[in-house]
Amino acid sequence: MTEHELAFVATNDLCAITRGRAMPLARLDPEAGCGWVPANLGVGAFGSIVEGSPFDATGDLRLLPDPRSLTRIDGVPGRPPLTVLLADITHTDGTPWACCPRTFLRRAAADLEQEAGLQLLAAFEHEFMLVTDAPAPPPMSLQAMLRAEPLGTELVGILAEAGLEPENWLAEYGRHQCEITVAAADALTAADRAVLLRDIVRNLAHARGQQASFAPLLEPDAVGNGVHVHFSLRDAAGVPAMYDAARPGGLSAAAGSFAAGIIRHARALLAFTAASEVSYLRLAPHRWSATHAFLGERNRESMLRLCPTFELPGRGPAGQLNLEFRAGDATGNPWLVLGVLIRAGLEGIRAQLPAPVLLDRPIEAVGEEERHRTGIARLPGSLPEALVALQEDPVVSGWFAPELLQVHRALKLDELRRLEGLDDAGKCRSYASVY
């Protein structure tokens, strides 16, 4: 630790922006944290406190750091090291605040374990663009990876030193698009890693004179950036609980019900997982994204995908099998994204829903009668439609404090007002610099 090293006590808000306060690391009192105010939750993606937020100039809160989230970020060229602690938002007496996104995930994971005896293991798969007019190398090529250097090697090293366990770094399909994945972890750790990773990438790119954007689309006709969430279930002893060779797709009864709960409430979930208007330009046909709520096998246009396993000596499917949620992007708060997936899955377990039908064909090849019979619903085609779906789903809206729903809606309506009169290209530009 250097003499004047800083600590940043942080939360991630409803616009998926990390906010908080810095202080000298030597003076940080983790048990006391720092002050915060309710109105901060009403700061929109474009930087202003929005109209319609239930929070005004009154009230005080605390950001109480979680010691296990402590992460030292070092190795960014020309930048000093920084210690980041992710925090729960509490009242001044330390009791939980009902609108804290991190507390929402913590409680969802606890309810899953208490009611179903299950734990969620998860990992976020991030895509982002390096914003440049330089000619693009061939997609997914060694040339593309090498031209991004030294950013790739530095990023993997910084993430490893910070304890985020990087697994894969690759050049993706889009122009100057990259993908970075980290190892799976318990639900809270996985979402914490997603919060930290996005700002580490942006900081490193900025230090190198570049801009990294996780925005869903940089241009209307370009390849989009998704954030896919991989998850599996473990029992109380940590034993994999997803696999049952006797059932379709190898999904256990609990895993099938969990998947069915997500599909049943998918339309409302998108208000949190695809949380911007440009998210829905990406969630369109033939983009390798999701337009309908169904469980797919080897199908990358499914909202929920059964990921393939491989069988080599000592590598059975039970420990590998996981599901991938594909209808999300970096405009969604990672704590809320994972929290709503857990809540929806738990609803499916409570109702003992049968496993969804596995679809291994393009959705265009499925007729209306079959879609209706198998419960395949069209996902919202716009942010306003997703907000209506949230209002119309009493189960999903019932998971949240009324004030959180009110400020979330105010934030999203403010974004839509700011986009009025812009064409799709202008909307994409508006989000590119924010995310």
Residues in CB range of 149: below 8 A, 6 or more apart: none
Question: What pLDDT score was predicted for residue 1?
Answer: 61
- Interval 120-136: pLDDT, tens: 999 999 999 999 989 99
**Cα–Cα distance between 90 and 11 in angstroms, integer?**
11
Domains and CATH numbers, the chain: 6-98 (3.10.20.70), 103-432 (3.30.590.10)
> For residue 310, what pLDDT is reported?
81
Q: What is the pLDDT of residues 37-55, one digit of tens each?
A: 999 999 999 999 999 999 9
Q: Name the nearest CA neighbour of 338 among 165, 163, 159, 101.
A: 101
Quick one: which of 261, 242, 411 has its CA closest to 340? 261
Rg (C-alpha) for the chain, rounded Å, is 21
Q: What pLDDT, on the 0 to 100 scale, is given for residue 2?
A: 66
- Between CA 169 and CA 213 the distance in angstroms is 16
This prediction has a pTM of 0.96
pLDDT digits 0-9 by tens, 83-92: 999 999 999 9
At residue 429, the pLDDT reads: 95
DSSP conformation class of 49: B
Average pLDDT, the chain: 95
Which long-range contacts (C-beta less than 8 Å, at least 24 apart) are formed by 406-409? Answer: 406/52, 406/53, 406/54, 407/14, 407/41, 407/42, 407/50, 407/52, 407/53, 407/54, 407/55, 407/99, 408/14, 408/271, 408/272, 409/52
Q: Which residues are bridge partners to 195 per DSSP? A: none
CB 20 within 8 A of CB 10: yes
Count of C-beta atoms within a 10 Å radius of residue 334 = 27
Residues of the chain with pLDDT under 70: 1-2
d(CA 409, CA 52): 8
